[in-house]
Structure 1
Amino acid sequence: MTTTGAVESKGAATRALILETAMRLFQERGYGKTTMRAIAEAAGVSVGNAYYYFSSKEQLIQGFYDRLQQEHAEAARQVLANETDLARRLGGVLHAWLDVAEPYHQFAAQFFINAADPASPLSPFSEDSEASREASIRIHADAVHGAATKMDPQLLEVLPELAWLGNMGLCLFWVHDRSEGRTQSHKLVDRCVPVAARLIKMSRYPIAKTLIREVADVAVEFGITRRTGYTKPRSS
């Protein structure tokens, strides 16, 4: 390994250590009571070094969001590689999200109190969250475009982001879910996704196409979603 490579590897390890330490302290002490100084001390790095990798606690949470999306993509990989049925792909993606998020449920509500504020950088709709938001939408786009289901092209343009918004709604339910292992959240996916998939399939029939297109237009007009332009992923 070159000197530059060794430095980059050490930097990545230090960054990961700081992030892991922060997540542990947030869980033990709470988000509000955990300072950057406490995180640095627990990680065994200087305060200046902690700020070098993460300029604030909010940026630490952004780092957590980014890592969660990477874990989500990996967890959803198998179902997206093996299933062509739309309901199974969408459901598999949501179940995968619940699985990777489960270890963080205990302290997730502390994040979402801040994330619920539209002005907060922790909001999933903020500019600061753009990278993790787009990564998550891409997962849902892969689920939609990789399905064998035929649907109206106009709906297809907005469906990845609508699916992501559904994931955000599931996230809110999950935060409040006190069932063991979040079984109620998994049941919600199993009940809702097949219904959504049937509605999506109806979009190619004239009797439903006009209504569904109007819904898609309203979603775009009022900024609920965009015409994302996501396309079917290329085969590797």
Structure 2
Amino acid sequence: MPEPAARSPKAEQTRGAIVDSALRLFRSQGYDKTTMRSIASDAGVSLGNAYYYFGSKEHLIQAFYDQMQVAHAAAAADVLARESAFAPRLAGVLTSWLEVAEPNHEFAGQFFRNAADPASPLSPFSPESASARDASIELFRTLVDGSDVKLAPALRAELPELLWLAQMGIVLFWVYDASERQRRTRLLVERIVPMLDRLVRLSRLPVVRGVVDDLIGLLATLRKV
């Protein structure tokens, strides 16, 4: 697969057409029933050309992850530019993800059973997902750094990843949320944001600071294992 910097405009157009076809077929036929051959046919390219850009359906999902992160950042940009308080910024980022993800809810559950496998490249924790994961954590870093919340330096460094982990929990809830427009997930976000806001602000209190230091120490230890 050519590196992004080496792709010609025509190659980018072909690659984009393949991704668009894949997502359209995933939504209409389901992830498991969609084949690379059907994706190539829908995109108007040869099967060999489809495999040139994407080695498997899993690689196409990685491209979907990357597209989602770009769309999420764009959707959250307005609230991040407008708000300085931590809670509205967090609510805006989490809610904007739900808005961006909503059209993909039906087929997301179909490939989630593969993504839930720790060995799967579709896992949000896999090396293959690093690009999308890093982009999401960076969005949370922008959220934290531009907010009015006062934090100890060690927690400020770790909070973006902790918020990303919280979002992963929300995503799991969203995947299984069968309510209309996933209103239960929206309620979850509405209720959990004030809790997280209070926890973050309490972190500077001496009685809580020790627990925060223990948590940060645990994260550091786990990264070394």
TM-score (norm 2): 0.93
Give, as a single letter, the amino acid of the residue that structure 1 aligns with 2:155: L
Residue in structure 2 matched with residue 111 of structure 1 by the alignment: 111
Matched, 1:85 2:58: no
Deviations 1:73-127 (A, max 9, x none): 0001011111111111111110011000000001101121100001101111111
Distance 1:144 1:200 in 2: 11
Deviations 1:176-224 (A, max 9, x none): 111111111111111011111111111112222112211222233234x
Task: Classify the secondary structure of the residue corresponding to 1:129.
Answer: helix
Give, as a single letter, the amino acid of the residue that structure 2 aligns with 1:142: T
Distance 1:220 1:80 in 2: 29
Distance 1:142 1:184 in 2: 27
Task: Classify the secondary structure of the residue corresponding to 1:55.
Answer: coil
Residue in structure 1 matched with residue 190 of structure 2 by the alignment: 190
Residue in structure 2 matched with residue 137 of structure 1 by the alignment: 137
Contact 2:72-2:96 within 8 A present in 1 as well: yes
Matched, 1:96 2:96: yes
Give, as a single letter, the amino acid of the residue that structure 1 aligns with 2:196: A
CA RMSD of aligned residues (A): 1.4
Residue in structure 1 matched with residue 209 of structure 2 by the alignment: 209
Matched, 1:161 2:161: yes
Tell me which moved more, 85-94 or 210-219.
Answer: 210-219
- Structure 1, unpaired ranges of 5+: 1-6, 226-236
- Structure 2, unpaired ranges of 5+: 1-6
Matched, 1:50 2:50: yes
Distance 2:131 2:73 in 1: 14
Identity of aligned residues (%): 51
Matched, 1:71 2:71: yes
Residue in structure 2 matched with residue 4 of structure 1 by the alignment: none
Give, as a single letter, the amino acid of the residue that structure 1 aligns with 2:70: Q
Give, as a single letter, the amino acid of the residue that structure 1 aligns with 2:36: M
Tell me which moved more, 147-156 or 121-130.
Answer: 147-156
Contact 1:177-1:185 within 8 A present in 2 as well: yes
Tell me which moved more, 203-212 or 176-185.
Answer: 203-212
Contact 1:31-1:111 within 8 A present in 2 as well: yes
Residue in structure 2 matched with residue 32 of structure 1 by the alignment: 32
Contact 2:32-2:111 within 8 A present in 1 as well: no
Distance 1:221 1:166 in 2: 20
Moved >6 Å (runs of 4+): none
Distance 1:141 1:36 in 2: 37
